[in-house]
Amino acid sequence: MPALNTSSLPDIIFMLLFFFMTVTSMKEVTYKVQISNPQATELTKLEKKSLIRYVYVGTPTAEFRKQAGAETRIQLDDAFAEVGEIENYIVSERSAMSEQDQGMMIVSIKADKDTRMGIIADIKQALRRAYALKISYSATQRTSY
Amino acid sequence: MAKKVPQINASSMADISFLLLIFFLVTTSMDVNTGLSRRLPAPVPPDQKIEDTKINKRNLFIVKINSMNQLLVQGQEMNVRQLKDKAKEFILNANNDPSMPVLYTEYIEGLGEVTYTKEHIISVQNDVDTQYQAYLDVQNELVAAYNELRDDYSHLKFNKAYAELDEDQQKLVQKVYPQKISEAEPKNYGGQ
């Protein structure tokens, strides 16, 4: 019996590899704040990644606690930020988008479930001022009450 | 005579790429972004005076969350799990209860005569110290109430779930059950 020709096997596997490399998404940023997602049931999927900007809210992780303190902080992209910086961040991020995308921008608030509402309200006011009115409270599916 | 170049043995190539494949499968997370979508109201221009719009008291459904994450719905203490049914009852006002929102009967193109509570407003008020999860629970229940109402109505009118309707039909259903959740600025309600 002639041996099975396996010379094309690597190519097939490489194809699979590339498929997974493109489809899967790496984490967008390295978290400097601890976030355990809140839970909800009425969730919608955020489809287009390019339209989404994130605002992370939580207490700094152990390695950043010395410089950032233990209080709830905001993270934009890769750095800690103050509430006042959100407006500028959103405006500059939006102006970097293409014109037809600008109106469809969604801001996803990824906040720790134990965050106090005071800071969330401040963020919401800042987003309103920046005219980023479409928001999404990031949450995971609730499995049980 | 040309020297014969020995062929490189490529049989292990498949194994190597398998390893790579498995590495990527394990490390990358199929991170689906899910969340509760809301729309914020447009900002008020600073030169504009904030006017107190008069809202008929029976059109208003007030949900307060204090710093201990306790709910006060229409002046009654309540568990989050009861909120959805209470909200649905309020939005529907099936029995034309005088303490619930005013019913309007209107002709809507594509639906015919519809009786609905056009002017109802759900007002969520939270404390500065309210926990985010508690706030999200309330938002979630209210959105769930609307979703269920829309779904029921879609089944009644179009014999389909709301998600299966086309865009125009969804707009019609949204017209009957518009999401009217208003949020006040957070205040200190005490409870320290």
- Domain borders along chain B are 57-183
B interface mutation test: which of A6, A20, A27 has the most B CBs within 10 A? A20
The shortest CB-CB distance from A13 to any of B17, B147, B186 is to B17
* Stretch A5-20: mean pLDDT: 81
| Cβ–Cβ contact B70 with A under 8 A | no
| Cβ–Cβ contact B36 with A under 8 A | yes
A interface mutation test: which of B24, B33, B40 has the most A CBs within 10 A? B33
The shortest CB-CB distance from A17 to any of B21, B34, B129 is to B21
Instruction: Kindly determine whether residue A121 and residue B185, on different chains, have CB atoms separated by under 8 Å.
Output: yes
B52 has a pLDDT exceeding 80: no
pLDDT at A26: 62
| Cβ–Cβ contact B132 with A under 8 A | yes
Q: What is the pLDDT of residues B107-154, one digit of tens each?
A: 887 778 888 887 888 888 888 889 999 999 999 999 999 999 999 988
* Stretch B55-70: mean pLDDT: 85
| Cβ–Cβ contact A59 with B under 8 A | no
Chain A partners of B29 at a C-beta cutoff of 8 Å? 24-25, 27
The shortest CB-CB distance from B40 to any of A111, A112, A133 is to A133
The shortest CB-CB distance from A41 to any of B10, B32, B140 is to B140
- Closest by CA position to A87, among listed A58, A130, A46, A55: A130
Instruction: Kindly determine whether residue B81 and residue A44, on different chains, have CB atoms separated by under 8 Å.
Output: no
B27 has a pLDDT exceeding 80: no
**Better-scored residue on pLDDT, B83 or B23:** B83
Distance from CA of A143 to the nearest CA of B (A): 14
| Cβ–Cβ contact B25 with A under 8 A | yes
Dist. CA B124–CA B147, nearest whole Å: 18
pTM of the entire predicted model: 0.79
**Better-scored residue on pLDDT, B13 or A26:** B13
Q: Are B191 and B68 in contact (CB under 8 A)?
A: yes
Q: How confident is the model at residue A27 (pLDDT cuts 50, 70, 90)?
A: low
Chain A partners of B33 at a C-beta cutoff of 8 Å? 45-46, 49, 52, 108, 136, 138
Q: What is the DSSP letter of A28?
A: S
Q: What is the pLDDT of residues A81-107, one digit of tens each?
A: 998 999 999 999 999 988 888 888 999
Q: Is the dihedral of CA B83, B174, B32, A138 positive or negative?
A: negative
